Homo-oligomer: A and B are copies of this chain.
Amino acid sequence: MGRPKEFDVDEALCAALEVFWRHGYEGASLSDLTDAMGITRPSLYATYGNKEELFRKVLDRYEQSHLCFVADALAEPTARRAIERLLKGYADVLTDPMHPPGCLGVNSGVACGEAGSTIRDELVARRSLSERTLRERLDKAAADGELPPEEDPADWARYVMAVGLGMAVKASSGADRAELHRVADLALRALPSTCSAL
């Protein structure tokens, strides 16, 4: 019962994603958002809560629709293949002309004012979780003998994450897909030879 919504909740969320992606969390104003989403301010609050909750919903959608390649990458049989697919897939997302350049999480969470500190913490936590997931994959590689015992999986996970984050900043600055793929190729050269043998 009651009056039905005149807009598609998921479609509007997608429009909000575009705005947050381009301008970051604090850089995106409610006017920017409502304009892009094609809805009015009260509709936004009634449907998504407030700006912060909307951003969290956008984040979830972003991860499951643009970062979904991560799970497949980690499922690759070798650590080298996994890391390569991780970095190349990330490079593709960061420079896809269909979307704003760079990474939503990095664009929104590097620095902020007082208002965005909780969002910043949330993004730090999500990145930390990603690194942990990668480390666990590399733990497995170490157990399989793919990573020599003198190598620390945590160090390698941190290194791969750092390269990815750096690619994200470079993408925001205008780097294109080919450039980031070359970055990934050079980054892969650091892997121990026992990794590249497979």
Q: Which of B23, B29, B166, B182 contacts A163 (CB 8 A)?
A: B166
Q: Which of A22, A27, A116 has the most CB of B within 10 A?
A: A27
Assess whether A1 is interfacial by the CB under 8 Å rule. Answer: no
Contacts of A147 in B (CB 8 A): none
| CB contact list, A28-55 vs B, under 8 A | 28-29
- The A interface is mostly helix, strand or loop, or mixed, namely helix
Shortest CB-to-CB span from A139 to chain B, Å, is 17
0/1 string, A107-131, CB within 8 A of B gives 1: 1101111001000000010011000
Instruction: State A112–B111 Cα separation when bound (angstroms).
Output: 10
The CA of A190 and the CA of B106, in the complex, are separated in Å by 25
Q: Is A3 an interface residue (CB 8 A)?
A: no
Copies of this protein, total = 2
Interface status of A12 (Cβ within 8 A of chain B): no
Interface residues of A in 139-173 (CB under 8 A from B): 152, 155-156, 158-159, 161-170, 172-173
Given contacts A162-B166, A165-B166, A22 and B111 within 8 Å (CB-CB): yes
- Quick one: closest B residue to A22, CB to CB? B111
Chain A to chain B: the 4 pairs with minimum beta-carbon distance, closest first = A166-B166, A24-B111, A162-B166, A107-B111
Jot down 30 A-B pairs with beta carbons below 8 A, ordered by A: A23-B111, A24-B112, A26-B26, A27-B111, A27-B112, A102-B111, A106-B110, A106-B169, A107-B110, A107-B111, A110-B111, A110-B169, A110-B172, A124-B173, A128-B173, A158-B182, A158-B183, A159-B182, A159-B187, A162-B163, A162-B166, A162-B170, A162-B183, A163-B166, A163-B187, A164-B166, A165-B170, A166-B167, A186-B190, A189-B190
For the A-B complex with A163-B166, A164-B166, A187-B190 known, give 14 more contacts whose Cβ atoms are closer than 8 Å: A23-B112, A27-B111, A28-B113, A107-B110, A110-B111, A124-B174, A155-B186, A158-B182, A159-B182, A161-B170, A165-B169, A169-B169, A187-B187, A190-B190
